[in-house]
Structure 1
Amino acid sequence: MELEIKVKNLKKSNPSFNFAEVFPSSQRNYRMRIECNLRINKNVLELDEFAKTNLGRANKKINDIVPGLLIIINKNEILKHKLFRIDFLCNQLNSVVIGLVYHKKLNEEWIEEASILGENIIGLSKKQKIVIGKDYVIERINLRDRSLNYKYTYGLFSQPNTLINQVMIQWILDHTKDFKDDLLELYCGCGNFSIALANNFRKVLASEIVKKSIKDAIYNIELNNVKNIDFVRMSSDEIEKAFNYERIFNRLSPQKIKSYNFSTVLVDPPRMGLTSKVKIFLRNFENIIYVSCNPSTLFRDLNELKDYYLYKSAIFDQFPGTTHIECCVILKKKKFIK
């Protein structure tokens, strides 16, 4: 779907809301991770129709790999047998991790044959993960005045469109440079926003429920020599309970919470949006940065944050050629209007 149509549909769904800026993306070769389901056609393993269409959106390096990879796999019965999906994760420097997903148990014979495919091969089946080489890439995020490095691990969430992700991070940086005090981030993943935004705040506390993502986030602050961030493995609801002293957590004690002076919260929730408790919790902050992959739940949540006014807003075409769109809004509490 064309970006103009997506923006028009967004406006139609909520006529009272205007996004001030719109950032387009390249239409092809923008995805740095992709899943390709397979099918058998005359005893030949090939991409299914959706994967063939979606492949054009994948990074050029992935497109270059696929034809030769399928030839090798089709000539090797051990690699071919019960293989139903191939996943790719790459970076802007063309490092690639390839995941082969099976409906069978993988053995030493499979490992020996898979080793001919390259350095970073992962075999997956039920309750089984075999890594040959590395299961991650190091991505470079290029901002206006610096570059940051991020470890992206296969199977964990990372922003799929690196070029738009860079634009989105820079946009938030530009519009929070005058914000003060401390930042809380919920749903932080591997630290995509918090690590970049650390320069704009005195201290940052960031939470994520996925244990492996927190491990990557800690790795990433060391990779970028960032000293003013603490990551905690807690859900958004647990954070709310900790801040309201409804429950004491060893990972986030009342003493630690009191050491912060939060002015700003950043949320990047899943498509379902924010829970009712989290929306109430957000009202404790002067500024709210809301990154959304689902405009419907974004508008729903904004309607319940009536004591805030819209400070900045933008659309980022994270997924060109699809119906999906990424939005970001920055809200300020009305009582703080000068």
Structure 2
Amino acid sequence: MSRPQFDPATYAAQLEAKKQRLIELLAPFAAPAPEVFDSPREHYRLRAEFRLWREGEDRHYAMFEAGDKHAPILLDDFPIASARINELMPRLKAAWQASKALGFKLFQVEFLTTLAGDALITLCYHRPLDAAWQAEAEKLAAELGVSLVGRSRGKRIVVGKDYVEEELEVAGRRFRYRQPEGAFTQPNGEVCQKMLGWAFEALGERDDDLLELYCGNGNFTLPLATRVRKVLATEISKSSVNAALANLEGNGIDNVTLVRLSAEELTQALNEVRPFRRLADVDLKGYAFGSVFVDPPRAGMDPDTCELTRRFQRILYISCNPETLAANIAQLDDTHKVTRCALFDQFPYTHHMEAGVLLERR
């Protein structure tokens, strides 16, 4: 992760440039003007990863420009990261400098925090971890008020929890999320909350069922499940599936069936190309799907999955890559039109952006 060019004075201009880029990409589809959801100007990123760089006897937090591993940018703080990360950075550095058990062959540090105030730190080593390390790690975790995970080749030691707990509010209801160490989570909590609110409103109150592809840890599943009769959700990552199941149970949501399948596999199942054991207890024909929600990876939906979504009256699509979003819309344009779109500035001071569209059958 290279360091963004952090300058709050340029924020309005860069956000306007992103808006115009999205408008241009969606212009061929007569999309309405995007609703724009901005980001906090600083302390918006809830996770951060740093390599450590040695100078003399000291190790420093370091980042690198893409493709250059030999010219480090040494850091004492990181203004785009959450206030909690910035508060923890110097205290953690002091700890590894003062303790050989903590500092010896430590090469990478990862922070994961939440808007709710939880924090987890992962320490990565080029050596085996022993009882001396664990004793020091337990002491440090108590001093910092965090959970710690130590990682070395073939070894993982957890002090406290291997996840953080988040709370996000959507339409007046607070949802609790378990976010595991090493699993994907939305990096910008404030903008994530705005995304959930937009998707909740765009879907509307429905009297039919929802299919969700790429559900992750249930980030969107929880609020959207309150808008429909029932949900069939899919996710391929085992850790994300386990987190999603815990999140559904923790929030008392009981109208979601979650299966560990890829979007491509579910497409094959719905097309009756082949059966899947993981769907043996799922009555696919018992669903009355009116909407599909997708939040695919940067590559977008593959052509077959995109073709599958054509069956639905409404396609609610969150994208981290507007170029592949536009390509998918082009495939669907003869049957569906864009009735709403939005820009979510998850990554200020970079060219990256998240977009959302609602497509409805013509």
| C-alpha separation in 2, matches of 1:93 and 1:55 | 20
1:236 aligns with one of 239, 263, 266: 263
The structure-2 alpha-carbon separation of the partners of 1:168 and 1:253, relative to structure 1 and needing over 3 Å to count, comes to: same
In structure 1, the residue matched to 2:68 is none
- Aligned 8 A contact 1:122 1:131 in 2: yes
- Aligned 8 A contact 1:23 1:316 in 2: yes
Letter in 2 for 1:56: P
CA deviation after TM superposition for structure 1 residue 8, in Å: 2.8
In structure 1, the residue matched to 2:337 is 309
> In the TM superposition, what are the counterparts of 1:68-83 in structure 2 within 5 Å?
68-83=91-106
Q: Deviation string for 1:189-237 (max 9, x for gaps)?
A: 1111111111110000100001111111111111110110111110111
| C-alpha separation in 2, matches of 1:330 and 1:136 | 32
Q: Does 1:321 align with 2:349?
A: yes
Q: Does 1:113 align with 2:154?
A: no
**Equivalent pairs, count:** 334
> In the TM superposition, what are the counterparts of 1:202-281 in structure 2 within 5 Å?
202-253=229-280, 256-281=283-308
- Aligned 8 A contact 2:213 2:295 in 1: yes
| C-alpha separation in 1, matches of 2:284 and 2:113 | 38
**Runs of 5+ unmatched residues, structure 1:** none
1:31 aligns with one of 32, 45, 50: 45
> In the TM superposition, what are the counterparts of 1:88-99 in structure 2 within 5 Å?
88-99=111-122
1:61 aligns with one of 66, 80, 84: 84
Q: Secondary structure at the match of 2:226?
A: helix
Q: Deviation string for 1:34-58 (max 9, x for gaps)?
A: 1122211222111114573982111
In structure 1, the residue matched to 2:223 is 196
The structure-2 alpha-carbon separation of the partners of 1:254 and 1:106, relative to structure 1 and needing over 3 Å to count, comes to: closer
In structure 2, the residue matched to 1:10 is 22
Provide the identity percentage: 37
- Aligned 8 A contact 1:33 1:90 in 2: yes
| C-alpha separation in 2, matches of 1:173 and 1:255 | 26
After superposition, the CA RMSD in angstroms is: 1.8
| C-alpha separation in 1, matches of 2:32 and 2:61 | 40
Letter in 2 for 1:65: L
- Aligned 8 A contact 2:297 2:320 in 1: yes
The structure-2 alpha-carbon separation of the partners of 1:288 and 1:187, relative to structure 1 and needing over 3 Å to count, comes to: same
Q: Secondary structure at the match of 2:357?
A: strand
Q: Secondary structure at the match of 1:251?
A: helix
Q: Secondary structure at the match of 1:248?
A: coil
| C-alpha separation in 2, matches of 1:243 and 1:321 | 41
| C-alpha separation in 2, matches of 1:18 and 1:105 | 56
Q: Deviation string for 1:115-138 (max 9, x for gaps)?
A: 221141100122221101111111
| C-alpha separation in 2, matches of 1:125 and 1:254 | 40
| C-alpha separation in 1, matches of 2:350 and 2:76 | 11
Q: Deviation string for 1:294-329 (max 9, x for gaps)?
A: 111111111111211011100000111222100000
| C-alpha separation in 1, matches of 2:310 and 2:278 | 23
| C-alpha separation in 1, matches of 2:345 and 2:33 | 13
Larger mean Cα displacement after TM superposition, 20-29 or 1-10? 1-10
**Runs of 5+ unmatched residues, structure 2:** 1-10, 65-72
In structure 2, the residue matched to 1:284 is 311
In structure 2, the residue matched to 1:141 is 168
